[in-house]
Amino acid sequence: MEKLIPEILRGKPCPVYCPICQANLNSKNKNSIKCLNGHRFDIADPGYINLLAKPYQSPHRDLISTGKALTENGLFDPLESELLQLLYAEYKVASTLTILDAGTGDGTVFSNMLLCMQWDQYRHQAIGLDNCSSAISMAATKSQSVLWLLADMAEIPLKNGSVDVILNIFAPCKYSEFYRVLRPGGLILKVIPGPLHLAELREDITDDVPDIATGFFSDYAADLKQTRVQYQKTLTRKEMDWLVSSGHSLPKKENDNTPVDQLQKLTIDCRILSGRKSDWAY
Ligand SMILES: [Zn+2]
């Protein structure tokens, strides 16, 4: 069975380059893709390109599966709606748009948003990138409109200024790489936890969130905006355990004898930081 690679690599300028020598990727066969200098990269089942030079220690697949189920059950729906509005504002006015979801995880949120926008893969380019093979493997089953890449988040294998919009949702990032791959005037949408995020699982609630007055957003971005998204969801204890043990790791309250499977409310509190790459800083 031919592995599914979207139109992004068929006839359009390809923003992806070889992570070893930065040459164009210029030839593809059924199972691999090759750069001008002969470096070859596998097209893995069910349809993503493995551009990772060295293996990354993936979280346990079961953990990712649980997270995927949780996201599919709507944990982040209100956040997704807010992001969608911001994204759609770009999409509806662009003749072509290249969007990168950096740290796409299992791809659920990204795929949902593209579906809602009625993403036209023949005009636009969508790239989902993650350094976890288990996650990107699941993502690749979600949408055939996305070019899914297993690649290094710290050395993104995309050309300078090749991306119009970067999404970065609860994922680590290297701002200098975002700055490099984003075109001047391009938009970055970064989601970070707010002060009350997962408050029910935390000992102390503080207002200790990253100071966006420093770093990328103040140094290199213009047109800065913050949107706070806050809501509560009813979850099972199993779902809460997943949140604690997977990236949203925060200390559990002591003496918490909540019975397993008892439904509880959980607060989701996040901030969407948006800014455009300043022309003057380019
Ligand atoms: Zn190469």
In whole angstroms, give the CA distance from residue 211 to residue 205. 17
* Tens place of pLDDT per residue across the chain (282 aa): 444 455 455 556 789 999 999 999 877 777 889 999 999 999 988 889 999 977 666 655 555 666 677 777 788 899 999 999 999 999 999 999 999 999 999 999 999 999 999 998 888 999 999 999 889 999 999 998 899 999 999 999 999 999 999 999 988 888 889 999 999 999 999 998 888 887 777 665 565 555 554 566 767 777 888 899 999 988 777 776 766 665 444 444 555 555 434 557 888 899 899 999 886 544
Structure token digits, residue 212: 């966006």
DSSP designation for 31 = S
CA of 89 to the centre of ligand 1 (A): 36
CA of 42 to the centre of ligand 1 (A): 13
Q: Are 99 and 163 in contact (CB under 8 A)?
A: yes
CATH 3.40.50.150 for domain 7-191+213-231+272-277, yes or no, is yes
- Which residues make up the environment of ion ligand 1, defined by Cβ < 5 Å? 18, 20-21, 23, 35, 37, 39
CA of 41 to the centre of ligand 1 (A): 9
Tell me the pTM: 0.86
CA of 159 to the centre of ligand 1 (A): 13
CA of 272 to the centre of ligand 1 (A): 36
Query: What is the number of helices (H) and of strands (E) in the chain?
Result: 7, 11
Q: Are 268 and 229 in contact (CB under 8 A)?
A: yes
SS3 annotation, 101-150:
EECCCCCHHHHHHHHHCCCCCCCCEEEEEECCHHHHHHHCCCCCCEEEEE
CA of 216 to the centre of ligand 1 (A): 30
